[in-house]
Amino acid sequence: MTDRSAPQALSRATLATLPAAVARPGYDPRVLRAGIVHVGVGNFHRAHQAVYLDDLFALGLNRNFGIVGAGIRDADRAMRTALAGQDYLTTVVAQEGSHAQARVTAAMLDFVDPADPGALVHTLADPATRICSLTVTEGGYCVDAATGRFDAAHPDIASDAQALAPLAADSSSAPRHVAWRTAFAPIVAALARRRDLGLGAFTVMSCDNLPGNGDAARAAVLGLAAKVDVDLAQWIDRSASFPNAMVDRITPATTEAQRAALRTRFGVDDARPVFCESFRQWVLEDRFCAGRPALEKVGVTFVADVHPFERMKIRILNGGHAAIAYPAALLDIVFVHDAMADARIARFLSKLLTEEVLPVVPPVPGVDLTAYQATVEQRFANPAVGDTIRRLCLDGSNRQPKFIVPTIAARLAQGLDMTGLALASAAWCRYCNGVTDSGAAIAPNDDAWPRLQAAAREAQNEPRAWLAMRDIYGDVGTHPSVVAAFTAALGTLARDGAACALERYVS
């Protein structure tokens, strides 16, 4: 144990008295001024973007880009309450093997009350706000998986468009008593107000894991705005910017055991600490309409085109996670590092990435893809992170179309087989049946669980029933070679189990 005194409750008042083993902000948080509104304050944001900004502020730079947190979900209310009780400070514990390093970050200054929709619009419309950043999950962008485009008919978009309708006549009339369904509604409302006040637009900076995240954010903002006011949509298109980004740091959900370990090992009592791996990466297109912090000073890579980096990460790392998640779950494996310690899972991943994924990942400037793959496999095997298989299995209906299906499509385009990828998809189907190979029940783990479970059970007799979900598979699900490979994999999983299916693929 680093310090044997009673743990310190985290706050600005206790920063100076925290145990010596805990790194503290290299600046007085009171000198910061707000410049970024971040929607979706989860663990990843606090372990990634907030850490980079904390490093930058410690250099004495860009202290007018402090973060104001925001959110539109019930979970955001709980996060705001917890963080407000400790002056919006966060303890980030980076872990590698037996080594753990704790630091307190202070990049966040405030958190808009999620119960007040008008408050978020007001904060975004403030001239001091120059960036609105987002981590609203892959499913928050209302993308139609069958087309890869913004779904203007999505129920959430229809609801927000109705709520925003008064903006067409008066931008000051943004509703104060309606629950936003998407993060894009308050963005559109704020941009309408800024336009009418003669102010410039702000940058919308997505930090979510999906292909072309900036393009997806742009499509959602413009698509929603066009349903309200075409002239507004055109002004936003001319005035705002939507850079694409590749973000990376494995950051699982925090457990009560980890909170207790923070108290005993580091002497810090934090209601919402973050535990993550040491590795982090951020590649960002340099397109900011209202200025940006000098993040290149703290390790962010700015590029003209992020897509090569993004495809690499999504297909290798996120695709790798999606590939091992469901076979591991069927084998009752709880932790990701334990899955990687299982030779069947590790060899499956290595063969899949080497033979099926890397050949369809376009070259990335300055990156050795084979070395990147090796790093990814090492990161998955890191036991200190404590990442869970269930977290990797979460929300497959939004993740599979982004992490697995595009690689299958790329292989089809080149006339290549996709045996391992079909096995990964078939394992997801088996998982959605709701029972592991040992007979243990699998709790619902997707907002679309009832539909997925119905399709999975129908697929036991007719595999095409699973592939027929066009919002997930699009045209890929009708391709004869995909149908054949998926049917064979699903049959092996049903008849012989995941262990046998993996061994057959590897051998």
* 292-312 pLDDT per residue, tens: 999 999 999 999 999 999 999
Q: What is the CATH number of domain 307-506?
A: 1.10.1040.10
User: What are the tens digits of pLDDT across the range 147-165?
Assistant: 778 999 999 999 999 999 8
pTM beyond 0.95: the answer is no
- Nearest 5 degrees, angle CA 477-CA 360-CA 424? 45
Rounded to 5 degrees, what are φ and ψ at 358? -55, -40
Report whether 13 contacts 107 (CB < 8 A): no
What's the confidence (pLDDT) of residue 407?
97
For 391-403, the DSSP string reads HHHTTHHHHHHHH
What's the confidence (pLDDT) of residue 175?
62
Task: In whole angstroms, give the CA distance from residue 202 to residue 126.
Answer: 10
Residue ranges of the domains in the chain? 8-302, 307-506
The single residue listed with the structure tokens 């899949």 is 352
Q: Take residue 505 and report the two structure tokens written for it.
A: 């693929």
Task: In whole angstroms, give the CA distance from residue 499 to residue 54.
Answer: 45
Radius of gyration of the chain (CA): 23
Residues of the chain with pLDDT under 50: 1-3
Task: In whole angstroms, give the CA distance from residue 56 to residue 288.
Answer: 18
Report whether 403 contacts 315 (CB < 8 A): yes
| Architecture field, domain 8-302 | 3-Layer(aba) Sandwich (3.40)
Task: In whole angstroms, give the CA distance from residue 173 to residue 158.
Answer: 18
Task: Please name which of 272, 261, 274, 275 lies closest in space to residue 85, comparing C-alpha atoms.
Answer: 272
31 burial class (0-12, 13-18, 19+ CB within 10 angstroms)?
A: exposed
CA distances from 433 to 67, 319, 442 (A): 42, 22, 8
E strand or H helix that includes residue 425:
helix 419-431
18 alpha-carbon distance from chain centroid: 31
Can you tell me whether residue 282 is helix, strand or coil? strand
What's the confidence (pLDDT) of residue 4?
52
What's the confidence (pLDDT) of residue 130?
98
